[in-house]
Chains A and B, each alone.
Chain A
Amino acid sequence: MDMSQYLEIFIEETKEHLQGLNQSLLQLETNPEDASMLNEIFRVAHTLKGMSGTMGFSKMAKLTHDMENVLHALRNNELKVCTKLVDVLFKCLDALENYLDSIVNTGTEGNNEYTEIIQALNNIINKKHEAEEVPVAKPSAKPVPAVAEKEVHPTSDFSVNQYEQNVINKAKEVGMNALQITVVLNKGCLLKSARAFIIFQTLERYAEIIKSEPKVQDIEDERFDYEFTVVVISKESLDLFAKELNSIAEVDKVIIKPLESRAVENEAPVNVQQEKPVQAAVVTQHEESKTETEETPSAKAASTQKPKTGKTVRVDIDRLDVLMNLVGELIITKTRLEGTDIISNPQEYNETVEYLERITTSLNDAVMKVRMVPVETVFNRFPRMIRDISRDLGKEIILKMSGEETELDRTVIDEIGDPLIHLLRNSVDHGIESLEKRRELGKPEAGHINLRAYQSGNNVIIEVEDDGQGINTERVKKKAIERGLINKDVANSLSQQDIIEFLFKPSFSTADKITDLSGRGVGLDVVKTKIESLGGRVEVETELGKGSRFVIRLPLTLAIYQALLVLVGKEKYAIPLSSINQIINISPDEIKMVQKQEVILLRNTVVPIVRLANVLDVPREDKVQKQLTIVIVRKGEKLSGFMVDSVIGQQEIVIKSLGKLLTGIKSIAGATILGDGNVALIVDVNSLV
């Protein structure tokens, strides 16, 4: 059986299950009595066991199997949920994630068997009520076989009835062999019915099965111990079956006996066991280790055919239907256009073109929606992370998340994980004070961190807020002066916002210099760079002693946005509409000079002017203009005026990268293709303000 085609599905589903498991475990920890949560975890573990077993990932299956045993004991109230136990379960989860990673990257589950985790699980089972003192990985403790042992009685109670004996006789007459085959499965076999199915399939390739004990239906339903017996009729010899069956994994023993033809009498059915086998029964024993290390054929096929899996997105079927509908419409419209004569029926032609326009817009939206993923996929891992860090640091922290259903483009989702981890760690590590300090200050002992996501216009906003000590701007200022980033006089005139900006300077992120700065700043420049590379912004609000809030603004999608096309010299440039505040016309004498910087006064605010023609090295055109067009753009709190020659209009643009060769060009964020097929460059507002 070739499993490689299911590998991707397996990976996707396992990911989902593991994520669910993570959440359920966290909830179980906070609420140990929750039986429904326990059931949920049990269900997930069971599903994972089944899935990995079917896929031939036996180590993964073994681990989940042992997990299941513990969970079963929990369900039956033989064990109590305690932190140690949850810790072990979390370790299992980590191990399973490692297996999955390995499967994603190499197609095999790898060699790590996580014996210490399995041992810890078995110890829990052994100790049962003393679970509180689980000794993790005690070398002497022998792993207890998870399944109850039962003596194997090969070929017991096996008889052939009259009808079957008749068939055997007939077969013998035409020179075929009748064989009685008893297969004993390995006790570690997790999916007995699946294994039996494989055995049956193998047999059916060479023979016809005329009888099975227990009945096929029972075998399918796993209503049998570790052995079953079948009678087959085949042209092939006994040796072939012995060889074939022994090559199947998890088969312990195969006993094959030829059956003789005998007269059918009206007597009681003949007990075959009493018969002397003509040939010595072929008994083979699989070595335990062999079954463990040997890859099942399916896993082998998977590893050779598909060493790596591509990135996939799970898409809501409804969204696909919408897409399908639109494509259908598109085809119909195309046909309609073909049949329309422009000259004789211009109105119909125009209507069709208009309709086509509407479809392309909807199609665009639909495709974008397909690419959208809820931020939940990123947020999911945070509770666990906060739990781990806060326990390491001995702090008590309550993480509240909201807006997990907010959707972002897949490309953005993939990138925001790390910056958010940075910010959250910062909050836990440096923002939230220690327990004692909080008590002293009269704050509630548990620190609160709020992680919020919501949509605002064309942006998605993610906030990380803590009720910790906030940022001491005086110390940041002092540090900035010390480091020579700014002189003292200027520093004193800076606003709080300007001072906080220093935290995002790369030089502020070197670890040891930060410690006396309450730590804020560790990797913040990385966060800022990352978010800005995604076209977003980071802002900080802070109040000393009360906490701070990091606000990340991200564009809904990186691929398409509204832009204003402007003309600079003879060149066309696009400015993202999201950063444009307004467009004004001024006369040249309204421009004032302040310290060699051109500025204008806009409603009593001084706005610096950037001549785009200068910063973009546009070839000069000497002409005197009576009216100047200024596009006022905003970056955070800062305003700036871009001087352009004229405004062309608003347009939806598809952003394209300039390619590897032209990376790192300041002032240009990318390129886009205009309606006439020419390329226009996109102005990078962030770097020019």
Chain B
Amino acid sequence: MENVISSDIKQFIVFRLGNEEYGLDTLKITTIVRMMTITRVPKTPSFIKGVINLRGDIIPVMDLRKRFNLSESEETEDTRIIIIKIDEILIGVMVDAVVEVLHLTEESIENVTNFTNDLSMDYIFGVGKVDNRIVTLLNFEKLIKFSNNE
């Protein structure tokens, strides 16, 4: 089967944006923190919410709702910042809530990149199916590639 991606069981952190559920490879996640004061940084893309101080490190935070052009929502008790590390770059991702850790086998991951032309599909590398749920698996390498002029 060509559209199968992994060969083993993979773990994904499942988080919520609005009504949709997204998954993120646990190996890329450094930590998950509660919402904290974010300092706005001028001259950055609108989806960069600002920077936070995580134990002495300055980390930029991306508002994933804005990145996906979703409607803005209120910060709640459940809002979390997931800190991801990709190629030595740390970045925080603001999400509505973190739901659970999901184990997915290779059979339950389906490659979807070839069935749409939508640009935002670049950020997605597959869809995980468990029971009746569908979890969109994100490709963060692509998500953090942007220029400051956007």
Interface set of A (CB-CB < 8 Å, partner B): 571, 615-618, 656-668, 671, 673, 677-681
Bound-complex Cα distance A677 to B56 (A): 9
Are B43 and A680 neighbours in the complex by a CB distance under 8 Å? no
Using CB atoms, name the residue of chain B closest to A678: B37
CB-defined A-B contacts under 8 Å, sample of 8: A615-B42, A658-B51, A658-B60, A659-B59, A666-B43, A667-B43, A677-B37, A677-B53
Chain B residues positioned under 8 Å from A680 (CB to CB): 39
Are A665 and B39 neighbours in the complex by a CB distance under 8 Å? no
Chain B residues numbered 70-103 whose CB sits less than 8 Å from any CB in chain A: 88-91
| B44 CB-CB contact with A under 8 Å | yes
| B41 CB-CB contact with A under 8 Å | yes
Bound-complex Cα distance A658 to B58 (A): 6
| B124 CB-CB contact with A under 8 Å | no
Are A671 and B58 neighbours in the complex by a CB distance under 8 Å? yes
Chain B residues positioned under 8 Å from A571 (CB to CB): 39-40
Chain B residues positioned under 8 Å from A667 (CB to CB): 42-43
Chain B residues positioned under 8 Å from A679 (CB to CB): 37, 39, 50-53, 58
Interface centre among B42, B51, B56 (most CB of A within 10 A): B42
CB distance from B61 to the nearest CB of A (A): 10
| B24 CB-CB contact with A under 8 Å | no
Bound-complex Cα distance A679 to B59 (A): 10
| B144 CB-CB contact with A under 8 Å | yes
CB distance from B58 to the nearest CB of A (A): 5
Are A616 and B42 neighbours in the complex by a CB distance under 8 Å? yes
Are A678 and B41 neighbours in the complex by a CB distance under 8 Å? no
| B135 CB-CB contact with A under 8 Å | no
Task: Please tell me the size bucket of the interface on B.
Answer: 20 to 34
Using CB atoms, name the residue of chain B closest to A617: B42
Are B56 and A673 neighbours in the complex by a CB distance under 8 Å? yes
Are B39 and A662 neighbours in the complex by a CB distance under 8 Å? no
Q: From A656, A661, A671, A678, give the contact of B91 (CB < 8 A).
A: A661
Are B42 and A662 neighbours in the complex by a CB distance under 8 Å? no
Chain B residues numbered 20-78 whose CB sits less than 8 Å from any CB in chain A: 37, 39-44, 48, 50-53, 56-60
Chain B residues positioned under 8 Å from A618 (CB to CB): 42
Are A660 and B58 neighbours in the complex by a CB distance under 8 Å? no
| B116 CB-CB contact with A under 8 Å | no
Bound-complex Cα distance A658 to B42 (A): 12
Are A661 and B89 neighbours in the complex by a CB distance under 8 Å? yes
Are A678 and B53 neighbours in the complex by a CB distance under 8 Å? yes
| B19 CB-CB contact with A under 8 Å | no
Bound-complex Cα distance A678 to B60 (A): 13
Q: From B39, B48, B88, give the contact of A681 (CB < 8 A).
A: B39
Beyond A661-B60, A662-B60, A664-B148, whether A681 also contacts B41 by CB under 8 A is yes
Chain A residues positioned under 8 Å from B88 (CB to CB): 660
Are B53 and A662 neighbours in the complex by a CB distance under 8 Å? no
Using CB atoms, name the residue of chain B closest to A654: B56
Bound-complex Cα distance A671 to B44 (A): 15
Chain A residues positioned under 8 Å from B53 (CB to CB): 673, 677-679
Bound-complex Cα distance A680 to B37 (A): 11
Bound-complex Cα distance A660 to B148 (A): 12
CB distance from B18 to the nearest CB of A (A): 25
Are A665 and B42 neighbours in the complex by a CB distance under 8 Å? yes
Chain A residues positioned under 8 Å from B40 (CB to CB): 571
Q: From B37, B41, B56, give the contact of A658 (CB < 8 A).
A: B41
Are A671 and B60 neighbours in the complex by a CB distance under 8 Å? no
Are B56 and A662 neighbours in the complex by a CB distance under 8 Å? no
Chain A residues positioned under 8 Å from B42 (CB to CB): 615-618, 665, 667-668, 681
Bound-complex Cα distance A657 to B88 (A): 14
CB distance from A610 to the nearest CB of B (A): 13
Using CB atoms, name the residue of chain A closest to B43: A665
Bound-complex Cα distance A678 to B58 (A): 10
Q: From A615, A656, A665, give the contact of B41 (CB < 8 A).
A: A665
Beyond A571-B39, A656-B58, A678-B39, whether A662 also contacts B52 by CB under 8 A is no
Using CB atoms, name the residue of chain A closest to B88: A660
Chain A residues positioned under 8 Å from B41 (CB to CB): 658, 662, 665, 668, 681
Beyond A664-B148, A677-B53, A679-B51, whether A659 also contacts B39 by CB under 8 A is no
CB distance from A381 to the nearest CB of B (A): 32
Chain B residues positioned under 8 Å from A616 (CB to CB): 42
Beyond A668-B43, A679-B39, A681-B39, whether A662 also contacts B89 by CB under 8 A is no
CB distance from A68 to the nearest CB of B (A): 46
Bound-complex Cα distance A16 to B36 (A): 49
Q: From B52, B57, B90, B148, give the contact of A665 (CB < 8 A).
A: B148
Q: From B37, B39, B56, B89, give the contact of A660 (CB < 8 A).
A: B89
Bound-complex Cα distance A681 to B48 (A): 15
Using CB atoms, name the residue of chain A closest to B56: A673
Bound-complex Cα distance A671 to B91 (A): 15
Interface centre among A571, A668, A678, A679 (most CB of B within 10 A): A679
CB distance from A85 to the nearest CB of B (A): 50
CB distance from B93 to the nearest CB of A (A): 12
Bound-complex Cα distance A617 to B89 (A): 26
Chain A residues positioned under 8 Å from B91 (CB to CB): 659, 661
Using CB atoms, name the residue of chain A closest to B62: A661
Chain B residues positioned under 8 Å from A659 (CB to CB): 58-60, 89-91
Bound-complex Cα distance A667 to B41 (A): 10
Q: Closest 10 A-B residue pairs measured CB to CB? A: A679-B39, A616-B42, A617-B42, A671-B58, A656-B58, A673-B53, A679-B53, A678-B37, A665-B43, A660-B89
Chain B residues positioned under 8 Å from A617 (CB to CB): 42-43
Chain A residues positioned under 8 Å from B56 (CB to CB): 656, 673
Chain B residues positioned under 8 Å from A678 (CB to CB): 37, 39, 53
Are B44 and A665 neighbours in the complex by a CB distance under 8 Å? yes
Using CB atoms, name the residue of chain A closest to B57: A656
Bound-complex Cα distance A678 to B51 (A): 9
Chain B residues positioned under 8 Å from A681 (CB to CB): 39, 41-42
Bound-complex Cα distance A657 to B57 (A): 9
Bound-complex Cα distance A667 to B42 (A): 9
